[in-house]
Amino acid sequence: MEEKQERYAISDKTYQEFIDHTKVIALEERGIVQCGIATCRDFFSVYRKNQKKHMLLYTVRGKGWLESGPCRYSLEQGSLVIVPAGIENGFGMEDQTWQIAWVFLAQGKEWPMVGDEIEYQLTTAPEVMYSCIQTLLRSINLPIDYGGEVGAHSVAQLELMLNMPHSDSLSRNQLRLHRVFDLVQRQLHKEWTVEQLAALYPCSEPHLHRLSQQYFGRSPMAHLTRMRMEYAARLLRSTEWSIQHIGEIVGYPTGANFSTRFKVWSTMTPREFRRNGRLDRHSSE
């Protein structure tokens, strides 16, 4: 009996959405056949004997696997695996929850990122790709005029992400370090310690210090301070919020402490920085 070209086992607990070129003409114009997102739970696996399109598979959360012949790839968070058309492959989830995004590309178009063999890389792209596809999916529910505009922008963003140079591929150390500080960026108000930051990696405090010096050129706490000051600077120039409130948002509940730290970083007090920023903005209008 001839083996099936495709087999799959997908749990009822898996949630997935996709859209193809038949629904969005802009996708077809760019050679994108289909794109989608999924949150896989319980069990999820797919096998394709003769894949007709190029596949880009992004792991956003959790861990999965991909096999092709004797090769097996561990699809960890932040990974992108590129499978050229015609290459037999199977993939599935390894953790309890595996969140992915995928894009199928037309075979008849030249794609710089697609070679003759499977390519695996670590990158910061998966979360952004997931968000782009999710926005495209949601745009269908908007009134047609607005949905068309949002959809067109989403497709343009997809194309931009697809054309990211390979130099953006990261080492595992870089990717994990980025994950730590991405989380910290969302909680700048929290009173972080080096011990807590190292636990997020996870690694020892001295190892985190070495990695931070290597990739950022500063200690973990110095990098955290810089993140806080840069975000505070953006808020001072883009909002009318009180200086006290901005200080609290970036982790300095005491106004005087925030002002002192900010002046060390910028050579101006928050009030002076805000006033000068507004003057610069008005003068350029």
Residue 278: CATH number of its domain: 1.10.10.60
Rounded CA separation 56/50 (Å): 16
Do 168 and 124 meet the contact criterion of CB atoms below 8 Å apart?
yes
List, as one string, the DSSP characters of 119-151. EEEE-SHHHHHHHHHHHHHHHTTS-HHHHHHHH
Which of 168, 188, 205 represents a domain boundary (last residue)? Answer: 168
End residue of a domain, out of 126, 146, 168:
168
81 in the same domain as 212: no
Classify 7 as helix, strand or coil: strand
Domain annotation covers residue 74? yes
Note the Cα 32 to chain centre separation in Å.
Answer: 20
Return d(Cα 207, Cα 277) in angstroms, integer: 39
Beta-carbon contacts of 145 under 8 Å, excluding residues fewer than 6 positions away, are none
Domain span including residue 236: 172-283
Whether residues 21 and 148 fall in one domain: yes
β partners of residue 58: 80, 101
Tell me whether residue 245 is in a domain.
yes
Whether residues 205 and 235 share a domain: the answer is: yes
What single letter denotes the amino acid at residue 196?
A: Q
Same domain membership, residue 208 and residue 191: yes
Output the tens digit of pLDDT for each of the chain's 285 residues: 345 778 999 999 999 999 998 888 889 889 999 999 999 999 999 999 989 999 999 999 999 999 999 999 999 999 999 999 999 999 999 988 999 999 999 998 889 889 999 999 998 899 999 999 999 999 988 898 888 899 889 999 999 998 877 655 678 898 889 989 999 999 999 999 999 999 999 999 999 999 999 999 999 999 999 999 999 999 999 999 999 999 999 999 998 999 999 999 999 999 999 998 654 443 333
